[in-house]
Amino acid sequence: MPHTLAVHTHQAVCLITLQRPQALNALTSELLAELAEQLQRCASDDSIGAVVLTGSRKAFAAGADLNEMAGRDLVGMLNDPRQAHWQTITQFAKPLIAAVNGYALGAGCELAMHADILIAGEDAQFGQPEINLGIMPGAGGTQRLLRAVGKSLAMQMVLSGEPISARRALEAGLVSEITPPELTVERALQIAQRIASKAPLALRLAKEALLKAQDLDLASGLRFERHAFTLLAGTADRNEGIRAFQEKRRASFCGK
Amino acid sequence: MSFEHILFSIDAGVALLSLNRPEQLNSFNGRMHEEVQEALRLVRRSDDVRVLLLTAEGRGFCAGQDLADRNVVPGAEAPDLGESIERYYNPLVHTLRDLPIPVICAVNGVAAGAGANIPLACDLVLAARSASFIQAFCKIGLIPDSGGTYALPRLVGMARAKALAMLGERLSAEQAEQWGLIYRCVEDAELRDEAIKLARHLATQPTYGLGLIKRSLHASLDNSFEQQLTLERDLQRLAGRSEDYREGVSAFMAKRTAQFKGR
């Protein structure tokens, strides 16, 4: 069993809760490794349709583990094992929803931005305070943040280290919904359940196509989308989905 | 921390915080700010407090910032008034507004400057008939702070808000009641008793639910209709899980008086 996470499965949704309350869920290498491992497990488990990732009421994750980082010199950083864990999290192909309460700072903010959908409690705070320590974001903070909130706000956050509120994050497009903090996880699970009832292959290709939109030029993105769309024509779930719609009944997908 | 400029007590679910610099009409200096902040920290931390009652000693309620404490020397560099707002006044009105319990304010006398706006961050405001509200800021070249420019147009409408803020005239408690700035105006001699009676009553009520009511009404000032309906759904979901809701329903069914615990 993992040490730094709690893992619960509700029907087709896996809820992963970061659990290092004493350190506001600071992301140690161990935690990242366990998270990557759990996501890999979810990826290969056909009964899991979507994953919700959350922290505590007080902190989603307040950053990386500074003691650990301080111990690494240049060579240590070059060989940083965390990079592999981040890769695994990035490559997770099923829908990943982050339910963020309290602090999502530094690596915690970067982890939240790895999720496909962000739901935030009203008192959540997002920030990249690395600059205050003489360093900078190193797990996507300068890239995903800029794509999510635009240049000026991303620059302001990364260069000043000042966090933004949940409401501001909603306005800027970093999160899609805010809820009372007591309901953040519940709302994320609700969305995840709904998503998990859809055809798995369609979800996977749709997620991939949406992520391509961030990296590719429009023509290439459209080409990818068309290929993915065409691929789905070869799946049993597409036939089932269309037939169920025509017959006005609920579709029952098999993932093939 | 022992208090010098405020009185603070907790009794039967009611926290009583009374400003106590009567000679200076309870105007704020740094020390009084620190003490109020500390008292509010105690309120936030206590599970026993279900209502906060804010009032003041002597003939005035609060004259805002103690200008003697500001020390503006002619010719010297301009003071950063934003700093004291960020450090004291904004956290104060934020806390009053965000406390998840009812906050009652009993305005016992003249309320001027920030002292006129602090009550507006409270939930239920009673005022003594001889009390008055003065947006004195405009007389010294300042703007109404402590949430004044937010609360005034929402409470009394833009036309009256502008007149109050730009003329800085004395608004009597009666007029304040008629304009909807405060909940109720009562006789001077009855103010303290009325306020305590109200506080004690609320402290026996389902205060968790009252906190949610407060939260939803505050949000309604900024939300669209759609957002507000969503919030009502969410907060009702929370309310429905409270012990007090169960108690309320079962007491109603059994035709007995409910015993609410505020959770």
Q: Which residues contact A125 (CB under 8 A, 6 or more apart)?
A: A102, A103, A104, A105, A163, A164, A165, A166
Residue B172 predicted with pLDDT over 70: yes
> Residue A182: what pLDDT?
94
pLDDT, residue A207, reads: 97
- CA-CA distance, B179 to B173, in Å (whole number)? 10
φ and ψ at residue B68, rounded to 5 degrees: -65, -25
Residue among A172, A131, A136 nearest A153 (CA): A172
* Per-residue model confidence (pLDDT) at position B71: 62
B44 vs A contacts (CB less than 8 Å) = none
Is the sign of the CA dihedral B147, B148, B152, B158 positive or negative? Answer: negative
Contact between A60 and A123 under an 8 Å Cβ cutoff? The reply is no
Q: Tell me the average pLDDT across B39-49.
A: 95
Q: Do A179 and B234 touch (CB under 8 A)?
A: yes
Judge: B231–A182 Cβ closer than 8 Å, yes or no.
Answer: no
- Give chain A positions within 8 Å (CB) of B234: 179-180, 183, 187
Nearest to A100 by CA among A80, A118, A79: A118
> How many degrees, rounded to 5, is the angle at CA A121 between CA A116 and CA A123?
130
Per-residue pLDDT averaged across B112-129, rounded?
98
Taking the CA of residue A25 and the nearest CA in chain B, the distance in Å comes to 23
**Burial (CB count <10 Å: 0-12, 13-18, 19+), residue A165:** middle
Query: Residues, chain A, total?
Result: 256
Closest to B45 in 3D by CA, of B100, B127, B122: B100
| Contact between B44 and B52 (Cβ < 8 Å) | no
* A102 secondary structure, DSSP code: B
The whole-angstrom separation of Cα B52 and Cα B65 is 22
Q: What is the DSSP string of B149-200?
A: HHHHHHHH-HHHHHHHHHH--EEEHHHHHHHTSSSEEE-GGGHHHHHHHHHH
Which pair of tokens denotes residue B214?
Answer: 């407060």
Identity (one letter) of the amino acid at B4? E
Q: Which domains does chain A have, with CATH numbers?
A: 5-196 (3.90.226.10), 200-246 (1.10.12)
From A38, A145, A53, select the one nearest A100 (Cα to Cα).
Answer: A53
ipTM comes to 0.74
**Rounded to an integer, what distance in angstroms lies between the CA atom of residue B104 and that of residue B32?**
20
Q: Which of A16-20, A36-40, B81-85, B88-92 has the lowest average pLDDT?
A: B81-85
For A75, phi then psi, to 5°, come to -65, -40
CA distance B143 to chain A (A): 26
User: pTM score > 0.90 for this model?
Assistant: no
pLDDT above 80: residue B72: no
Interface test with B, best of A170, A171, A182, A191 (most B CBs within 10 A): A182
Sheet arrangement for strand B124-128: B6-11, B14-19, B51-56, B103-107, B124-128, B184-186
> Does the CB of B235 have a partner CB in chain A at under 8 Å?
yes
Each of the 256 residues of chain A gets a pLDDT tens digit; together they read: 788 999 999 999 999 999 998 899 999 999 999 999 999 999 999 999 999 999 999 999 999 988 888 888 898 888 888 999 999 999 999 999 999 999 999 999 999 999 999 999 999 999 999 999 999 999 999 999 999 999 999 999 999 999 999 999 999 999 999 999 999 999 999 999 999 999 999 999 999 999 999 889 999 999 999 999 999 999 999 999 999 999 999 999 998 9
Write down the pLDDT at residue A95: 98
B210-223 average pLDDT score = 95
Tell me which chain B residues have a C-beta less than 8 angstroms from the C-beta of A187: 234
